Structure 1
Amino acid sequence: MCKENSRYNIYSRHLIKKFGQKVYKLPVNLPGTCPNRDGTLGYGGCIFCDEQGSGFDALPNKLSVTEQLRQNKEYFRQRFNANKYIAYFQAFTNTYLPPEQFAANIKCAAAEDDIVGISVSTRPDCISEEYLDILSQVQADKNIDINIELGLQTVNYHTLQKINRGHTLAEFIDAVLRIHRRNFEICTHLILNLPWDNMHDVIENAKIISALGIQYVKLHSLYIVRGTQLGNMYERGEIKLITLEQYVRRIITFLEYLDPNTVIQRLVGKGPRSEVLFCNWDTSWWKIKTELERLLEAEDTWQGKKFSYLNGNALSRAWPTAKN
């Protein structure tokens, strides 16, 4: 079973072990776009993405990096008595910028004394050696923890095409290998209830994340926003979504096949407060999480229970006493 007698590897506990106390993420929301919005790879972005690019729960993007960090720090200090933070570059594709602008953003966050980590959200096809050089230099100068969040959503490359990601699984693998060589940790974003995926895809998501040695996973339940391409498809009845019970079952199966050392940053996402056509089956995210944890306990299952497919699995089945 996972550490600390938990049924899965909980992010908040991981941060306490890593930094010696609770650490809070401060979202940074900057004006931006991505290559399948501006015509480099395509137009319109992912079919589920709205105009805010996932920055709906952050401060206005007209504010500077410094101002956003300081306003958010004040909020977390007053509410949680917090004093250590991770600057989280959240919305859009944060490496899809001229190198000098990207460097300025990262250095600005690293200059804050109580920032112990920087998390950069981006796309697999927007990772290059030049931008990794910038992160490596900032890490060396400031002795600060840096991790990179890669939006993948699914390992099913047919579904990636349907949702207009603009990249396939190959670009994700390339990005992971390059980031690993720099010793930065990686968080991968996945959506387990995309209409074109099934339980086989859920299991393969877990297997590939585990085989690539990815340290963190963030699960998002699909939300549908009015006016997006997916929203139009939903209103026309062209897609069918799984039930809440089926979604919880997918999370359990995903966890069972996932490396027990992988840290779970999120199990259930949430959408913007307005213009949402579908989000979490009209159920609070914490209720979904509570039901998931209840079932894990009731069924006596846990993260990594079925993590036995690497290191020559066929050999261990054929000759159980052999050392693989």
Structure 2
Amino acid sequence: MERYKAYSTHLKELYGEKVYKLPVNLPVTCPNRMDGDGCTFCGGVGTGFEAMNSEVSVSEQLNATKGKITKRYKAKKFIAYFQNYTNTFLPVDKFEKYLVEAAQTEDIVGISVSTRPDCITKEYLDCLKKISEEYQVKISMEYGLQTVNYKTLNKINRGHTLAEYLDAVLMTAPYGFEICIHIILNLPGDDMTDVIETAKILSALPVQIVKLHSLYIPKGSKMYEEYKEGKITLCDPEEYLDRLVNFICYVRKDMVIERLFSRVPKEDASFSNWGISWWKLKDRFDEIMETNDYMQGCKFDYLNGAALRRWEI
């Protein structure tokens, strides 16, 4: 029995079989880095650890990675994942060219675009809609929020507040694209209240997928310096698991959970998962959910006139 709606299950339901994401790395950067050093947890190379060099064409990147996965897993369907940096931080015509190249690649059934909530306009969404209809590929938009705590967003130098995120989601929803939100559950300064409020706000919005991360601190990042100097404190693994369990219990029952822990090469991070393998943390999470008979959304009782129900009015 699944105690939460896993992304792998969602893809099987959507496409009828297992589907794999293929990372694509474009020659783009992030507007937040243009203004300064970017987010304090950014190491400067973005998040595309598994992606190829951005100078390689989109089709070459997809076919090279597809070949490896097909050989190992006999996969037949794939999602082109424009993952690294801010993929809409370039002119729309260039953006369209890259996406069309992906859509025309054999066995690509979907395109996922990762970007910032302050880097989307209807012009880009219109472009995606056209590509979706012309090439019959499903579109998923991934927005990095990290937390709903605007004070924490400021401390980690995200370069946007909660308002930009709300704007991006409400702008995207009418297009019918899946909306995925990236959240970090253990940012310095956040506590359980922030975790629960994040689950509530995502649940109140037309968001279908959430990708959860445990914080990792890349070497060379601003947060790395703060961590070394003892200027920030991080919660222990049991506290993270408690936050993760509560998030799952408070979030909407139909929300798809794409990830629970970060997975990055050890050589790239000064801190990642407390030095514990992600699958051991996953085993502990599963144990807590099973022992307490928790299910996703078991505490989802706060929307749609909750006070009226509580007082039986």
Band of TM-score, shorter chain: over 0.9
What is the identity, as a one-letter code, of the residue corresponding to 1:11? Y
From 309, 315, 320, the equivalent of 2:308 is 315
Report the CA distance between 1:193 and its aligned residue. 0.4
Q: CA separation in 1, counterparts of 2:214 and 2:34?
A: 26
- Say if 2:15 is the partner of 1:22: no
Contact 1:57 1:272 in 2 (8 A): no
Amino acid at match of 2:106: D
Shift in Å at residue 35 of structure 1? Answer: 1.1
Distance in 1 (alpha carbons) for counterparts of 2:301 and 2:81: 34
Q: CA deviation at 1:150?
A: 0.3
Give the 3-state SS of the residue equivalent to 2:56 in structure 1. Answer: coil
Following TM superposition, by how much is the alpha carbon of 1:275 offset from its aligned partner in structure 2, in angstroms? 4.1
Partner of 1:105 in structure 2?
98
Q: CA deviation at 1:243?
A: 0.3
Moved more, 76-85 or 275-284: 275-284
Give secondary structure in 2 for the equivalent of 1:125.
coil
Q: 1:96 aligns with which of 77, 85, 89?
A: 89
Partner of residue 32, structure 1: 28
Are 2:169 and 2:206, in contact at CA under 8 Å, matched by a contact in 1? no
Post-superposition Cα deviations, 1:2-60, rounded to whole Å, max 9, x if no partner, equal xxx31100111111111011100000012221111112xxx111000112110122222
SS of equivalent residue, structure 2 residue 301: coil
- C-alpha separation in 1, matches of 2:268 and 2:103: 35
1:301 aligned to 2:294?
A: yes
Structure 1 unaligned blocks of 5 or more: none
Structure 2: tracts of 5 or more residues without a match: none
1:1-324 residue pairs with structure 2 within 5 A?
A: 5-39=1-35, 43-319=36-312
CA contact (8 A) 1:207 1:257 kept: yes
Task: Please tell me the residue identity of whatever aligns with 2:34.
Answer: D
* Contact residue 266 and residue 272 of structure 2 kept, 8 A: no
- What is the CA deviation profile of residues 185-204 of structure 1, one whole-angstrom value per residue up to 9, with x for unaligned ones? 10000000001100000000
Q: Secondary structure at the match of 2:131?
A: helix
Identical-residue share of aligned pairs (%): 52
For 1:252, the aligned partner's letter is V
In the TM superposition, residue 272 of structure 1 has moved relative to its aligned partner by 3.5
- Cα distance, 1:161 vs structure 2: 0.5
Q: TM-score, normalised by structure 2?
A: 0.98
Alignment partner of 1:25: what SS?
strand
SS of residue matched to 1:124: coil
**Offset at 1:141?**
0.5
- Say whether the 8 Å CA contact 2:202–2:251 is kept in structure 1: yes
CA distance in 1, matches of 2:263, 2:9: 22
The letter for the 1-side match of 2:54 is: N
Residue identity matched to 1:16 = K
User: What is the CA–CA distance in structure 2 between the aligned matches of 1:232 and 1:30, rounded to whole Å?
Assistant: 28
Tell me how far 1:300 sits from its aligned partner. Answer: 0.8
For residue 180 of structure 1, report the CA deviation from its aligned partner: 0.2
Deviation readout 1:125-157 (Å, 9 max, x if unpaired): 001010001001101101210010000000000
3-state DSSP class of the match of 1:274? helix
* TM value normalised by structure 1: 0.95
- Amino acid in the other structure paired with 1:101: K
What SS does structure 2 have at the residue aligned with 1:233? Answer: helix
Q: Residue 120 of structure 1 contacts residue 148 of structure 1 at CA under 8 Å; is this kept in 2? A: yes
After superposition, give the CA deviation of every residue in 1:241-285 in whole Å (9 maximum; x if it has no partner): 000000011000000000010000101112333242110000111
Q: Deviations over 1:147-186 (max 9, x none)?
A: 1000000000000000111000000000000100111110
List structure 1 segments (4+ residues) > 4 angstroms apart after TM superposition: none
Q: How far, CA to CA, are the matches of 2:22 and 2:264 in structure 1?
A: 18
Contact 2:153 2:161 survives alignment (8 Å):
yes
